[in-house]
Amino acid sequence: MSELGLCSRREADEWIAKGWVRVDGKVVSELGTKVYPSQKVTVERQAAAEQSKRVTILINKPMGYVSGQAEDGYKPAVTLIRPENRWSGDTSPEQFHPTQLKSLVPAGRLDIDSVGLLVLTQDGRIAKHLIGQDTEIDKEYLVRVQYTKPGKLPDADLKKLNHGLWMDGKPLLPAKVRWQNDDQLSFTLREGKKRQIRRMCEMVGLKVIGLKRVRIGRVKLGELPTGQWRYLNADERF
C-alpha cells in the first residue's frame, strides 16, 4: 500500500485493523498479508475522508529548537504550533484544533543550531515524498561561512562541494553550490545526511557561521517570520 502511494505504512496498519482495506473485493484484516501483482487493492471511502483531514504545517524554526522529540532539555519545534504563533499572513481556511498536533511529525530534520523551513505533517504520503529513499525533492539552504585558511576558497574546492566529496564511506550525490555573496553560499541538495552541509564545508576548510533552509521542492519559506507557522495550502505541491 505504501509502495502504491496510497498511504504510509503506519496508516496502512491502521486501515487494515479498521477493515478499510480490500484485496480483490475481500476485506483483509491480517497485517502482513501477501498481495500478488495481479491483485487489486482498494480502500474504503472512510480512509480517504480521514486522510483528507490530516494537516501539513510549515514552520520557520528558530535556533535552539530540535526538529523531533525533546532532547537534552531542548524543546521540539512542535511546541511552537499554538494559535498565537500562527502567521497573520496565512491564507489557508483551515481552523486550528489541538487534535492536529496528534501524530504530527517532522518530514526531514533541521539541526538545533540551524534555522528556516521545517515541515511537520500528519500525512504519511507527504513524509514519504519528502524523506523517502527515492525522493527527488531538492532542498535549498543559505549558508554563511568563514574560510579558515589564508586567501579565498579555491575554485577547485567549490567544484568539490558540487560533486566529488565522500561521506560515511559513500560518494555524495551531485549538489548545486554557488556563492550568493562574499561570505554566503547557496546549497541545493537532494539528500540529507546528518549535519551534511557542515561536514561538507569542513572538508574544504570552511566554517559554518549560520545555516538557513529556504526552500523544499516548490515550497518556499518566503516571508514566514521566525518562530511562526502556517498551513500548507491545498493548491501547494512540493
Burial of 71 (0-12, 13-18, 19+ CB in 10 A): exposed
Which residue in this structure is represented by grid cell 514566514?
Answer: 224
Q: Which H helix or E strand runs over 199?
A: helix 196-203
Look up residue 221 and give its three cell numbers.
519559506
Burial of 52 (0-12, 13-18, 19+ CB in 10 A): exposed
Annotated catalytic residue, options 111, 138, 157, 183:
111
Q: Which residues contact 165 (CB under 8 A, 6 or more apart)?
A: 171, 172, 200, 203
Q: Can 111 be counted among the known catalytic residues?
A: yes
- Listed residue (19, 32, 50) closest to 125, CA to CA: 50
Question: Which positions are annotated as active-site residues?
Answer: 111
